Amino acid sequence: MRKVRRKRWFALVLLGMVLLLFYRSNWLGRVIYPIEYREEIEQASAAEKVDPLLVAAVIRVESNFRADRMSPKGAVGIMQVMPDTAQWMFERERFRSYKLEDLQDPLKNIRVGTAYLSLLHQQFLHNQVIAVASYNAGPGNVNKWLSNDTWDGRLETVEDIPFGETRKYVSKVMYYYKKYREVY
C-alpha cells in the first residue's frame, strides 16, 4: 500500500514539474498560437513600421494563415484585401507593378495588407485599435463613429462599435495580438 502511494505521489510531482516547465516555456504557446509566413511578415512590418505581431494577429483573424482564402464579400488572400483597396494601393509607387492576381501570392498580399494597415495606423495617430477597426469596417465608417461620438476608439468601449462584425473582429485581433506578445 505504501509503495502505491509513493508511486502516485512521485507521478503527481513529476507531472506537476512537467506542467510547470511547459507553463514557463513559450513552446506550448507557440504550438497553440503559431505564426506562419513569419519572415514575410517581419520584412513587410519593418518596411512599413508596423508591429509584426499586430500584422500576424490580423492575418490570424482574417484567414488563419490560409493564402487561398477568398471571402464572400470578395476580399482576397492571406490578409483579405478588398479589390478596391488593392487598386488604390497599386497607385502607390512601390505597388504600381502589382495586379489583382498578385494578391494570391502570400508575400505580395502581406506587403499590400501591411502597407494599408500602416496607412490606417498613421491616419489614426498610431491608435492600433482604431486602425484595426478601420481595416475591417473602412476608415470612412470609423471616422463617422469617432466624429459623432458613437465610439471613442478604445478597446474598453469596443461594444459601442455599431457593426457587430467589426466589434467581434477588433476583439479577436486584439486578443491574438496580446497572446502573440506574451508568446513571442
Catalytic site residues?
Answer: 62
Reported residue count of the chain is 184
Copy the grid coordinates of residue 19.
Answer: 506542467
Q: Which helix (H) or strand (E) holds 84?
A: helix 83-90
Copy the grid coordinates of residue 82.
Answer: 478588398
CB of 181 closer than 8 Å to CB of 53: yes
Distance CA 46, CA 57 (A): 16
Distance CA 37, CA 51 (A): 15
Copy the grid coordinates of residue 159.
Answer: 461594444
